[in-house]
Amino acid sequence: MRASTQQQRCVAIVDPISTGACVAVEATKRGYAVVAVWSAVVTKDLRNMVPEHAKGLRYHAQVDEGESIEATTQLLRKAAAPHKVDAVICGAETGVELADRLSQRSGLASNGTELGNRRDKHTQQQASRHTCLAYPPSPP
């Protein structure tokens, strides 16, 4: 029997606390190597804010946000080895901007960073008006 040459898939989860820890557990169950990427705003105490079923989860690696997005991208690539990162997922509100920058810099599927106010709900509704997407109306 030949050894499998298929490489294990890998995802990076930025700030896997609270619900993000649940995402990490599910990714692990599905066979992904998971790298936790911690944004600079997440304290050591916050890192422990995970649901009971996620306590004790062992990550493939953990990375602290670097001095620049280039440095963080390099740290992630090294930490993920021998795997190639397939996706960057935001695990908590604190990690939204880093996840967007990291995924964009890594050439992965991304919300991107082109629109500075892309997270503003009013801006989202205005952009939706120019698409075929349904969206909730603004309150009067």
Domain assignment present for 3: no
Is residue 135 one of the residues assigned to a domain? no
Ranking 13-17, 45-49, 83-87, 109-113 by mean pLDDT, the lowest is: 109-113
Burial of 129 (0-12, 13-18, 19+ CB in 10 A): exposed
Any idea which residue has 């075929």 for tokens?
132
Q: Which of 47-56, 64-73, 83-92, 109-118 is least confident?
A: 109-118
CA angle, 13 then 71 then 108, to 5°: 45
Task: Provide the pLDDT for residue 99.
Answer: 96
Entry pTM: 0.82
Whether 78 has a pLDDT exceeding 80, the answer reads yes
Residue 48, φ and ψ in degrees, nearest 5: -90, 0
* Residue 134 located in a structural domain: no
Give the CATH number, domain containing residue 54: 3.40.50.20
- Average pLDDT over the chain reads 89
Residues 6+ apart with CB under 8 A from 88: 11, 12, 13, 14, 37, 99, 102, 103, 106, 108, 110
- Percent share of the chain, pLDDT over 70: 89
Q: Per-residue pLDDT tens for 56-71?
A: 999 999 999 999 999 9
Number of compact structural domains in the chain: 1
Say how far apart CA 53 and CA 131 lie, in whole Å.
40
User: Is residue 136 included in any domain, yes or no?
Assistant: no
Domain-located, residue 114 = yes
Q: Is residue 2 part of a domain?
A: no
Report yes or no: 62 and 35 within 8 Å, Cβ to Cβ: yes
Range of the domain at 29: 10-128
- Asked whether residue 5 carries a pLDDT value surpassing 50, the answer given is no
